[in-house]
Amino acid sequence: MLFISKFKIIIIYILFMFATQINAATNVYYSVGQNTTDHSSGGDVNIVSGIATFTIPQTATSLGVGDRLTAGGNIYYIAAKISTSQWYVVTQLGLLPNDLSSTAVTSIAHEYIHLQDALLGATDSVHVNSKNLVSANVILNIPCYDDSGPDTMHVSLNTASCTTGTNNYINIYTPYDTLTEVNKRQRHNGIATSGYTLMGVVSYQYIMVINLKNPNAFVRIIGLIITSDKTRGVNTALWTACNAEIAYNIVHDINPIYGSTCKGIDVGSHYPSNPAPIVHNNICYNIPHSGIQVGTFALYAKVYNNTTVNNGRYGITVTIDIPMGYLKNNLSCNNGTGDFTPVELNGSYKTFDYNASSDSTANKFIGTGNRINQTFTFVDYDGEDFRLAPTDTGARDCGMSDPGAGAFFDDIEGQTRPSGSAWDIGADEYLDTTIVNVEGHKKKPVKIFSLQNYPNPANHSTTVRFTLKTVQHVSIRLFSLNGRLVETFADGPFGFSNVQNEVVCRFSHNTPAGIYYLRMESGKCAEVKKIVVIR
């Protein structure tokens, strides 16, 4: 069997101008960071067709998507990065701005200090100008920056604050791509030592609560660190009562307000018929009660590839039947009472497969491929680095492929899955960058060497060029954010010579503007690369 170490291509399509179809939503961007003073490098700027070109490169480390550019008495918002000298900008409504002749840069700054300020202020008259994102037909993007310390204001969003929908949602996230988003990564790398942090510093029921009583409400919470200062208590670190995607977060060390009832991530719903809350690629540890809890009306909950360690009572708790949901590829280790626990269930849950526990509780549910009484080896258990070590045998290559039905392709660090022969269980996918085993012999990895796709940004098409050491089957496909296959550009053998291979990826006129993943696969290798597509 051939094991190929993974190469990496990430293609994320970032919309920053007019939608290509009548009903397509427009993206707006407003950043959050502790430093709202000017962090521009000065110089002049001119804007042509949404491309802002600076005479002096804008090199501040915490400068990127969502930041407000002021020049010539006008306000613009950064939507994407081309280089430190060129950035895409939009108006406050996410539209293509008028051209601007060369003029002095007044300032570049974050729009809000606190995430709570952004959630309440983004709908005012100088931003979206509507509390109803559906009628305004926008997607509200709130990129969060790690400037000088944690964001210490608790977050509360309810129906009175904002109306969202399946296609008009709130996207709270940390930018991490230094090619197309930001000058310096603002997201943690799988450990809670750096990255935007939301910290509870006052006694309050929640650090972050999203309570939207709308059957179509939707919010994404991506790449945050959530914790408390250990002197004030909370009941739940992150609680959602609506459709939500909660992914790539680290929730840890929460001080309880009511004894040992505190949960890390608690997902529920006001409507039993809601589409699924999706919880994946999170790490939760040192929580008094449960790392993750699936609660009220979350009948369709999809919980996969999470890691829960050292929580006071349970790693993952399921308090209701989830007949249309599933738990897959979750790692739960050394939790006080049990790693997994079903509470008052009637055995009605769709799938519980390929989960792993350090005790016997992975067998409490009906399912296949579950692993009990495992010993897991982490990078630094005592230092609370719960990424998998190269010597681990409890979770590495033990999971099922694509448990989210195409919903994601990477781990909490952004590394593409799988790295080895199969997906790893838990939030982290161990990446071996040294050797592979080829038919029992250790050799150098067989790699795909991929060049930049061109053009980038792209309008109707982009060209992907790559070379292969051997003949291999290669597929290049376009996926939507929710994992739906949109287009297939290549699916066949390549590499009959060492010359460069070239695939022209032509976007169908039926493909709307939005955020996409362009996925390139060969054998056990699957990678991504970012692209900005305009129409």
88: CATH: 2.40.30
What tokens were used for 349? 């849950």
For 129-163, the pLDDT digits (tens) are 999 999 999 999 999 999 988 999 989 888 778 88
Number of domains in the chain: 3
- Quote the pTM value: 0.81
How much is the average pLDDT of 108-115? Answer: 97
- pLDDT class for 346, splitting at 50, 70, 90? low
Calpha distance 454→463 (Å, rounded) = 5
Which residue, of 109, 139, 164, is where some domain finishes?
109
- Greater confidence (125 vs 499) lies with 125
Q: Find the CATH number of the domain harbouring 505.
A: 2.60.40
Q: Provide the residue type at 394 as one letter.
A: G
Is residue 275 located within the same domain as residue 384?
Answer: yes
Q: Does residue 5 have a pLDDT over 90?
A: no
pLDDT of residue 456: 59
* 149 domain residue, yes or no: yes
- Amino acid in position 392: D
Query: 97-111, 145-159, 335-349, 362-376: which range is least confident on average?
Result: 335-349
DSSP symbol at 415: P
Mark whether 141 and 271 lie in a shared domain: yes
Q: How many CB atoms lie within 10 A of CB 22?
A: 7
Judge if 215 and 311 occupy the same domain. Answer: yes
Does position 9 have pLDDT exceeding 60, yes or no? no
Same domain flag for 350 and 225: yes
78, 109, 140: which is the final residue of a domain?
109
**Domain final residue, candidates 388, 418, 436:** 388
pLDDT tens-digit series, residues 360-375: 999 877 789 999 999 9
Mean pLDDT of 212-223: 84
Span 448-483, pLDDT tens digits: 445 456 665 666 777 887 777 677 788 888 876 555
| Residue 148 and residue 50 in one domain | no
Q: Are residues 452 and 517 in the same domain?
A: yes
Instruction: Note whether 277 and 267 are within 8 A (CB).
Output: yes
* pLDDT of residue 439 exceeding 90: no
Q: Is 380 inside any structural domain?
A: yes
Task: Name, in order, each residue with C-beta under 8 angstroms of 509's C-beta and a sequence gap of 6 or more.
Answer: none
The reply to whether 281 and 139 lie within a common domain is yes
3-class DSSP assignment, residue 75: strand
Burial (CB count within 10 angstroms: exposed 0-12, middle 13-18, buried 19+), residue 508: exposed
In a domain, 406, yes or no: no
Clarify whether residues 481 and 347 are in a common domain.
Answer: no
- Do 323 and 367 belong together in one domain? yes
Least confident of 28-37, 44-53, 321-330, 385-394: 321-330
Domain of residue 454: give its range: 446-528
